[in-house]
Amino acid sequence: MPPVLIPERKMPAGFESIGQVDHIYDLVNEGRVSAIRNSIKKLTDTGVELENGEQHEADLIVFATGWQRDLSFIEESLRQQIFRDGRFRLYRRILPPEQQRLAFVGYFPTLACPISSEIAAYWTAECFSGDLKIPSVAEMDEEIGVLEDWADERLPESPDGIFTGPYHCHYINDLLGDMNLSINRTNNFISEYLATFEPKRFRNLAQEIDESKRGSGAAKRGFYFSGLHALAAMVIAGIFWIF
């Protein structure tokens, strides 16, 4: 990696697990892309002016805001309820148990942030509208404690306790289950667990939420060929083969 692209601060734990495009490193090393570490003073008609006075033309500006989370915009007494002992206290990584009119949506990293953030937004809307049954404050605190214990074991270097990374599928399943929606998003267990985790699995989520509200129980989906079905088919085939 070109030295100019090495962060001055230590990157968050698990960051290396996120898919990175390394082609940019080759472009920098070949001199086809100029990497400059500085702050933007202002935008100009043709690009940017940096704090050191340099001006550079730019066709595209990417505001990469980094991974340092700052809650200074929240009043101190409220911030202490949300952030204790260096960790966020958020039920489902969204809702502060003691401040249930406040929600953090998309505030934590996963391997599929657009998907997890959108489903978290649905969850929040259902919560704020009163259509989502949430546990008591004591039960939420207990669940947060369980999650923190898990994070200490699986992600010991995650400082704030909300990095989800490659475990986003489990997190999304929790949100879907809370909303009484089907966790299985395909029609068979093979594609469910081995196929690519694509956004189209959730394309009808708004419709499913509406159907779940109008009906009783989870919104109905098509037939799902489970592992139990496969086992039963094998047993039946074996019986026919024997006799």
Residue ranges covered by each domain of the chain: 3-57, 76-179
Say what the pTM is: 0.70
pLDDT exceeds cutoff 60 at 15: no
The pLDDT confidence band at residue 114, using thresholds 50, 70 and 90, is: confident
What percentage of the chain exceeds 70 in pLDDT? Answer: 81
Q: What is d(CA 230, CA 232) in angstroms, rounded to the nearest whole number?
A: 5
| CA dist., res. 114 & res. 72, Å (int) | 25
Long-range pairs of 199-207 with CB within 8 A, sequence gap ≥ 24:
199/112, 199/114, 199/115, 202/115, 202/118, 202/119, 205/118, 205/119, 205/122, 205/181, 206/122
Mean pLDDT for the stretch of residues 43-69? 82
Q: What pLDDT, on a 0 to 100 scale, did the predictor assign at position 161? A: 61
